[in-house]
Amino acid sequence: MHYIFPDGTFVIATKSYQRFYDDPIVLKAGEAALPIGGKETDIEGWLWCRGDDGREGWVPESWLRQDGSRRIAIRDYNAIELSVASGDRLALIFSEGGYLFCRSREGETGWLPDGIMRLDAGN
């Protein structure tokens, strides 16, 4: 479920995390993606897809609509993850299906698994 957090909401990394892919799938609303089999995740609601430019990555199913064997993005999407160290504090922008979309102090945005983050009670 997509949830947008109020400005000024922060999270803190409880452990380090290294992103898996440096150049994953990026979709603009209206662009097509092809679901690719063979990749498994224990988090429901995500599809491994390939964009028209050949880049691949996990995409939330709820951000796609069916069009034959392809899916069409209903909003802009970037699968880039962030790398964090334990204790890093990030601005929380929104959540989707077990992942958080955050902004680092340096201004980078990307996804992180919600299981390694906790809300900053000092907000």
Hey, what domains does the chain have and what are their CATH numbers? 3-19+81-119 (2.30.30.40), 26-78 (no CATH)
pLDDT band at 60 (very low <50, low <70, confident <90, very high): very high
- What span, in angstroms and rounded, lies between the C-alpha atoms of 40 and 8? 34
- pLDDT score for 123: 58
For residue 122, pLDDT over 80 is answered with no
- What span, in angstroms and rounded, lies between the C-alpha atoms of 87 and 93? 18
> Distance between terminal CA atoms of the chain?
23
Can you tell me which residue has the tokens 């097509």? 32
Please compute the mean of the pLDDT values over residues 43-65 and round it to a whole number.
Answer: 93
Distance of CA 108 to the CA centre of its chain: 13
Higher-confidence position of 111 and 69 = 111
Write down the pTM of the prediction.
Answer: 0.88
Can you tell me which residue has the tokens 């929380």? 92
For residue 21, pLDDT over 70 is answered with yes
Mean pLDDT, the chain, rounded, equals: 92
4 φ/ψ angles, rounded to the nearest 5 degrees: -95, 130
